[in-house]
Structure 1
Amino acid sequence: MKSLLLSTLLTATVGAVPSAQIKDGIIQGFTSNRVENFFGIPYADPPVDDLRLRKPRPLSKPLGTFDATSPPRICPQKAMAGDLPILDTWPESLSNILLSFNATAQNVGEDCLTVNVQRPVDTKADAKLPVLFWIFGGGFEQGATNTSDWSTLVTKSIEQGGVIVVAVNYRLNSFGFLGGKELKAEGETNLGLHDQRLGLEWVHENIEAFGGDPEKVTLWGQSAGSISVHNHLLINNGDNKSNRTGKPLFRSAIMDSGTSFDAEPVDSATAQAQYDFIVSHVGCESSAPSHSSLECLRKVPWQKIVDATNALPRFLSENGFFIDYVPRPDPSSSFFTAAKFNGSQPIVDVPLIVAHQEDEATTFLQATSGITSDAKLVAMLHQQFPTTPRDFRESL
């Protein structure tokens, strides 16, 4: 059905192929109604083989003439919903929303670091339109740019002069937010945040070719994407300037359902236990001492890491909800030293809109329907916040 729809859209716009000349090549998209779409534009070298579990690297090869008319590849996903008996009491239309967290995605793979660009039809390269940089949510475990179509927003914006939306794909779960002393020792932590940051650098360098203004970029995210936006206010000790030009990468930010999310350090016992579990599950324990476990993880088939990731507790389960993957502070690097704004932490001074996504917390709370005693509640809180003193949790 998607292929048929895309074919119909392309057929209807033959002879009017929108394009943009960026430094890496010519990007060709397609027009649908009053929106020009450019899907799946690579902003980094594929993070595969030896580049797996490393910070993203800018494109090292030109794209030539790039066909940006197909939905982009989705980064590896983690199933998020466990056995929730309460769903049996829900109308199917509602229970299917949570069950969709376990749906098998198509076109999944590691080579997924891309951006989508959507702009008003007939936008000229010198239009200088403001830019929304969208970061999707999904608990840092799943999600993709193709889950949101910003055509309606872009169309409505035309009446006010127009806006360009750029959506970024970034690595998730074990591929983007795995912790442990091994990754810390190599300086390869919080890779998903590094992906987002490189995506912002791509916008800074290329959005003018699409008619956007690199000095009018607003970060915007929902849930984990919103937490990511908050993190970009703290990254590099509150410095939002480009590593290449020294100019700000964004001038404002919007956060929907997520701001500060405190987390233990990247080499904490919790993070290390997760790393050790993944290593054990894929069979990399025996790789030492001749080869490091991290070197082994870079050589195994990526699907084995997906299987190991899915063997961890589900985000939503009958025992509560558990966030396994989050950005974790790494004090050995200036990139992300703190996950929570504490008053003394430097933060980017830009205008903010902070809001909430209606009923998002309601979705999470369905997983706590089986928490029917104080002991079960304390156990859930302990798994989520293991270093918090037990007497403090019991006093809540």
Structure 2
Amino acid sequence: MDGGRRVYHRFGQSASSGYSNNKQQKVCYHWRQGKCSRFPCPFLHSELPGANNGESSKRAHQGFEAGISQGSGLRRSGNSYFNNTWGRVQGQGGGSSNRVIKKMEKLCNHWLQGNCKFGDNCKYLHQWSTGDCFSLLTPLEGHQQVVTGIALPMGLDKLYTGSQDESVRVWDCQSGQVVGVVNVGGAVGCMLSEGPWLFVGLTNLVKAWNIQTSIDLSLNGPVGQVYSLVIGNDMLFAGTQDGTILAWKFNVATNYFEPTASLKSHTLAVVTLVVGANRLYSGSMDHSIRVWSLETLQCLQTLTGHTDVVMSVLCWDQFLLSASLDKTIKVWVATENGSLEATYTHTEEHGVLTLCGMHDSEAKPVLFCSCNDNTIRVYDLPSFSERGKIFSKKEVRAIHIGPSGLFFTGDGSGQVRVWKWSAEPTAIS
């Protein structure tokens, strides 16, 4: 009888019940988080009972929506939500209440070895992802070390991947088979495709291949490993190990890339570059982000909000997103005088390695966030509501968005995976 009373209290009681214990009426905090392990639990595993509970919940929900639409100054421009909504679940379509994520979000080690005896009853994951918005199509095996670059030149049916194993592999998109392996003579730090050109960042060198004409060029000037490449204002920029950003411009007459500028401001290696709003943004091991004018190539501002290596920068609409090994993602927005300031900080449990963005089939922005616990978190923006996770054997260093809902990931074990969205999204530039 007493055991039955405890179970009764766990799931609530009617107003006519004779039992009245304030401790018993408290909702279990761990139950709300979906991870209560006590049985029996002395607290409620349901919301507080009461005749007006449904009505009060409804009023609370309406008040939350009113606060968003009236009190927060929410404005939209196209598909964009402005800075004061970052990290807040949207009342319309931005929440995650209809997404169910398995509680034990950890890969089964026995499943990885192919010998888990529990099968579907195992409490750990027997799959490479959670969430229902994407699925794994196929793994591409061949690289022996971390994959640092993925490129899918427009109009071609070939995928290019680069690795620290000193090779660039060429994959046929129809069969998934390797059709070529190029030994580049050094660890690949990054890759970029633009038009007919494929650029590969190496040590003390950038290789430039014209896929249409088979022209093979070597761009000298970098000191140390080239970690990042980007195109802006008809120039190729390379972030290097010594903290310099080098720029080249293609000369049609000579059919060669002419050195244009050497941007010096960072004190340590430049590991990430992005172009947006006529600006070049660079993230560095010196914990800072530099903002450069693409017209004058002068440094306009230094952003110092991070406390560890800035691993990735991403432009979305009028915002700059930056990710760091300090376990944070910062959202920067321009003030009235044109300078950037951090308006929101999202914190992860682990260091963040790379960011990649796209719009889903409903034109909602989605963020891929690779962390050094061998996972990729997939978030709705601007709410940072989680849509799912992708798991890997080792950390993911490269993410690339393809056409028709395809995207590619490359991890520290050398494996490249091909994924497919359930509905076709579009890339965030």
Structure with higher helix content: 1
Pairwise same-fold verdict (TM > 0.5)? no
Larger Rg: 2
Query: Which gives a bigger RCO, structure 1 or 2 (Cα 8 Å, sep 6+)?
Result: 1
> What TM-score does the superposition give when structure 2 sets the normalisation length?
0.22
Q: TM-score, normalised by structure 1?
A: 0.23
Higher strand share: 2
